[in-house]
Amino acid sequence: MNGSEVNVPLQVRLRFGHAAIQYLADTIGADLLHIKGVAVDPSLRPGGYSGSDVDVLVRPEHVRELDAAMRRHGWRLYSTFEWGSPFGHAQTYLHDAWGYIDLHRFFPGIRVAPDRAFDRLWADSHEASIAGVGCRVPSEPAQAVLLVLNAARSTKDSKPDVRIAWNEAPPERRSEMQALVADLDAPVAFAAATGTLDRYRGERDFELWRIVSQGGSRTAEWWARVRAAPTFVSALRIVGRAALVNIDHLSHRLGRPPTRTEIVAEFFRRPARALRETWQGIRHAETGR
């Protein structure tokens, strides 16, 4: 009927979203690994939680081509790599039929080069059918590691993924996970999720993972990002971006693209907010003595 609408259950839409992005990737020859959500093995998500969007990890050299193909086929850019998270790891798109999709160019917490990390995860991957389409997913130990690393970016007290994927895992699975964490050079983020972060106080990214997993001011997070940068040049880039307005965030807050006047106002509002956060941090430190 004209004008009729059908409410599609979220889990069904998510599965079709995975299938749609895989079909598109196949047409251009891009390699994808489907991660999190409905792509996770049921043994790691016995409660059936499937998230609210589609997550895929793309081979780094295929990112640009897949991004262009997605835009040609109805996916609209929602937030960019540069401003989507403190790590710059994913770009979010919105499709009228398939909803949100996060396109990962690397996974936060993994410190080896993105291309090497993808090769390592791809080597043990296997095909799973999602909505009737063959989609490659990481091995079960790799899925468990990614769930734990993802939990490290949450300040919530309850982390069922860590409990199921790590705390309750049999010894053999834990050994496989530890070996993969070593291969991916991801010990700090993994420790942040599993409650052993203090072991890594000397690591350059310790403070960033402390703030991301336990909470902290936006200003403190920026400085932690600078300290965590692997090179001097990348640290300078972060410093340069710190002074800029996050237009993605401002657009979402306003519900529309910001005007030039609103961008300028936000630019001058940021230093005042940073000074306030710094002063609050100093007062908190003094009262905590």
Q: What is the pLDDT of residue 157?
A: 55
Q: Give 10-200's CATH code, choosing from 3.40.50, 1.10.3470, 3.30.70, 3.30.460.
A: 3.30.460
Contacts 24+ apart (CB under 8 A), 85-94: 85/153, 86/208, 86/212, 86/221, 86/225, 90/55, 91/67, 92/53
Residues of the chain with pLDDT under 50: 1, 263-264, 267, 277-279, 281-282, 285-286
Q: What is the pLDDT of residue 278?
A: 47
Q: What is the pLDDT of residues 33-81, one digit of tens each?
A: 999 999 999 999 877 666 789 999 999 999 999 999 999 999 999 888 8
Q: What is the pLDDT of residue 1?
A: 44
Q: What is the pLDDT of residue 270?
A: 56
Q: What is the pLDDT of residue 196?
A: 95
Q: What is the pLDDT of residues 134-143, one digit of tens each?
A: 999 999 999 9
Burial category of 213 from C-beta neighbours within 10 Å (exposed 0-12, middle 13-18, buried 19 and up): buried
Q: What is the pLDDT of residue 181?
A: 98
Backbone φ, ψ for residue 287 (5° rounding)? -75, -20
Q: What is the pLDDT of residue 260?
A: 63
In terms of Cα–Cα distance, which of 116, 99, 199, 108 is closest to 145? 108
In terms of Cα–Cα distance, which of 70, 104, 110 is closest to 89? 104
Single pTM value for the model? 0.81
